[in-house]
Amino acid sequence: MVEHQRKHVLLTAALVCLSFGSTGCGKDEVTPPPTPCQQKDDIHAADWVPCRLKDMTLEEKVGQLFMTYAYGEQAADPNASMIASNQKDHGVDNAEQLISRYHLGGIIYFTWSNNLNNPRQISALSRGLQQVAMRQAPGIPLLIATDQEHGVVTRVGEPVTQFPGSMALGATRRLQDAHEAARITGRELRALGINQNFGPVADVNSNPLNPVIGVRSFGVDPALVSGFVQTQIRGMQAGGIAASAKHFPGHGDTDVDSHFGLPIISRSTQQLDAVDLPPFVAAIDAGVDAIMSAHIVVPSLDASGLPATLSRPILTDLLRGQLGYTGVVVSDSLAMAGARPFGDESDARVPVEALKAGVDLLLMPPKIDVAYNAVLAAVRGGELSQERLDEAVGRILALKQKRGLLAEPLVDEAALAQVGAASHLDAAESITARSITLLRNDARVLPLKAPVSKVLVTGWGVATTAALGEELSKRWVSAQVLQTGIAPAQSAIDQAVAAAEQVDVVVVLTSRAWENPSQLQLVSALRSTQKPVVVVSVREPYDVGYLGDAPTVVATYGYRPVSMRALAKVLLGVINPTGLLPVNIPEAGKPSSSLYPIGYGLSYPIP
């Protein structure tokens, strides 16, 4: 085969000479094809990855497998508290030392690690980190990631454009909205130097009481979720960043939060094929750059009792073999309780077992020094083969090449003009407005109109109630705000009832009220005042199943300011609610019932 290809190249060269009448085209002057790695510095060459692998030390290769966080606004933040935090967690002073010591392949940003304070600071941090990485391993930039799902999981706040979360997008039923939200998110993150987003969520929220997914999912219907996952991946990657579908093989039927425990999924393989896997198949078809593993046990796929992150039958046999996925597999955070099945031995053992199972990129090991040296020792001792190491590193390098990081590792400060651009903000407002879902309007209280002039905004959420009150007050009503917390005490309920007596209408916000029954007591007490009461569930819409005969109920699927602005417009009749439920709403205590079916939603009568 190789000799045949060589003859073809020589023949082609000869024909070119004849066609163009070139001189010097004798037999001896025909240029042979380049030998392997002759063009290793060509970052666009098809053989760049294998050639770069040949030049890397074992330590550099192992470092590429890890992505973790560092405290600080700068690569070498001089702040004493940041230095102390980095020393406590990693044994280094700053991100610069962390990258240099462990040859890291990636960094993940969080608000709590003081990485995400404003666009200019984020951009400068990204530039500084990439400069460190490029000095440490010339030609190999970092993956810089965050979790910008929007909605309840939003890392980068305003002035970056804020969109509603996945379930709200599902309520719009508009794939074009999901694509535009993802494309804008991708463009703005890339302008900040962030080149990988851990989203979209591909889990089907089939358990209404799911403690960790909920509104992070697009809905309960596998086909609906698949369509939105696929279009978001295409939009995000069109925006210039790597998308990451999560959490394989599906976290939607859990009753345990894998941050704090190890969920067990009791589905059969047939149920998995019908419900949980289709969105990941759609993600693969869309060319998703990465898929994140879940820390969940699925006995029908692997009887070992190990979480999917450590399961070769799930990550290699199923994901790679049966589903044909060839991109990067990234673990969920290895600091989560669900990723620690070996007790105190987990710090060293889990990274090695994850790599053996099929993970390529190891996210946030609790002790980077222990994890890094454990993988080094596993390769040197033969527990992990050089072939498996090169396979994982090769996929990570290929992703960096594919996303253009090799050509443009440093963020262009001029790109900051895209962040929060007027057209982006307009798109976010319009998309969010289409997600608000009216579930009950039995008393025809909505839309609010004269003689209503005074409104009490109460219930859950300090910032949320304030945002809604502010938006209502910008228009023709006077809004009083009295937040009562996640689990209102009787004194707070009494205060809200007293305030309700002084207004025309009460708007009360609930958030996962089934977990906090005193929220339901608040609603009941407010209704006893005989004032019109509008109940708004600002997270999962399942609250309506616990509200009895409350006559006026709205679902927003999110509590961020962008959702409260859209809600205010719906309450006041500026826009007509058009959202449709992307999940089934069961009656309280009857999870298999359907009080409100998927697709349900009311609009205001046309005047």
> How many CB atoms lie under 10 A from the CB of residue 4?
7
Q: How many domains does the chain have?
A: 2
Long-range contacts of 314-323 (CB under 8 A, 24+ apart): 314/248, 314/249, 314/357, 315/248, 315/357, 315/358, 315/359, 316/357, 316/358, 318/249, 319/248, 319/249, 319/280, 319/291, 319/358, 320/358, 323/277, 323/280, 323/281, 323/284
Which H helix or E strand runs over 420?
Answer: none
The one-character DSSP state at 330 is E
Q: What is the pLDDT of residue 28?
A: 37
The one-character DSSP state at 321 is I
- CATH number of 216's domain: 3.20.20.300
Q: What is the pLDDT of residue 442?
A: 96
Residues 6+ apart with CB under 8 A from 322: none
Which H helix or E strand runs over 144?
Answer: strand 143-146
Among the ranges given (180-194, 223-237, 255-269, 463-477), the one the predictor scored with the smallest mean pLDDT: 255-269
| Helix, coil or strand: residue 168 | helix
Among the ranges given (18-32, 85-99, 326-340, 580-594), the one the predictor scored with the smallest mean pLDDT: 18-32
> What percent of the chain lies above the pLDDT cut of 70?
93
Q: Are residues 350 and 496 in the same domain?
A: no
Pick from 401, 559, 575, 557: which is nearest to 44 by CA?
Answer: 401
Q: Is 424 exposed, middle or buried (0-12, 13-18, 19+ CB in 10 A)?
A: buried
Q: What is the mean pLDDT of residues 522-540?
A: 97
Question: What backbone phi and psi angles, to 5 degrees, belong to 80?
Answer: -60, -40
Report yes or no on 585 lying in a domain: no
pLDDT at 99 over 80: yes
What does each C-alpha distance from 401 to 50, 134, 244, 255 come to in angstroms? 12, 14, 16, 39
Which of 421, 445, 466 terminates a domain? The answer is: 421
Q: Are residues 391 and 442 in the same domain?
A: no
What does each C-alpha distance from 55 to 13, 21, 52, 265, 390 come to in angstroms? 32, 41, 5, 43, 12
Which of 387, 421, 455 terminates a domain? The answer is: 421
pLDDT at 75 over 50: yes
Among the ranges given (157-166, 475-484, 582-591), the one the predictor scored with the smallest mean pLDDT: 582-591
Give 512-521 pLDDT, tens digit per residue.
999 999 999 9
Binned at pLDDT 50, 70 and 90, residue 9 comes out as very low
Q: Are residues 461 and 365 in the same domain?
A: no
Report yes or no on 594 lying in a domain: no
Cα(509)–Cα(484) distance, rounded to whole angstroms? 10
Pick from 110, 429, 111, 105: which is nearest to 242 by CA?
Answer: 105
> What percent of the chain lies above the pLDDT cut of 90?
87
CB 384 within 8 A of CB 378: yes
Q: Are residues 338 and 458 in the same domain?
A: no
Q: Are residues 213 and 278 in the same domain?
A: yes
The one-character DSSP state at 319 is I
Q: Are residues 403 and 447 in the same domain?
A: no
Report yes or no on 602 lying in a domain: no
Q: Residue written as tokens 């392949």?
A: 105
Q: Is 557 exposed, middle or buried (0-12, 13-18, 19+ CB in 10 A)?
A: buried
Q: Are residues 402 and 494 in the same domain?
A: no
CB 567 within 8 A of CB 551: no
Looking at the DSSP assignment, which residues form a beta bridge with residue 330? 292, 361
Binned at pLDDT 50, 70 and 90, residue 605 comes out as confident
- CATH number of 446's domain: 3.40.50.1700
Task: Note down the domain range covering 468.
Answer: 436-571
Q: What is the pLDDT of residue 13?
A: 32
Report yes or no on 257 lying in a domain: yes
Pick from 45, 44, 59, 48: which is nearest to 105 by CA?
Answer: 59
Q: What is the mean pLDDT of residues 483-507?
A: 97
Angle between helices 490-500 and 517-527 (to 10 degrees): 30
Looking at the DSSP assignment, which residues form a beta bridge with residue 510? 537
pLDDT at 36 over 60: yes
pLDDT at 185 over 60: yes
Q: Are residues 478 and 386 in the same domain?
A: no
The pTM of the full predicted model, rounded to 2 decimals, is: 0.92
Mean pLDDT rounded to a whole number for the chain: 92
Q: Are residues 414 and 441 in the same domain?
A: no
Which of 421, 446, 477 terminates a domain? The answer is: 421
What does each C-alpha distance from 344 to 125, 261, 341, 367 come to in angstroms? 34, 15, 9, 12
Report yes or no on 253 lying in a domain: yes
Which H helix or E strand runs over 190?
Answer: helix 175-191
Buried b (16+ CB within 10 A) or exposed e, 311-348: bbbbbebbbeeebebebbbbbbbbbbebbbbeeeebbb
Cα(201)–Cα(217) distance, rounded to whole angstroms? 6
Q: What is the mean pLDDT of residues 162-173?
A: 98
Catalytic residue list: 259, 332
Pick from 308, 360, 351: which is nearest to 329 by CA?
Answer: 360
Structure tokens of 478? Answer: 């006077």
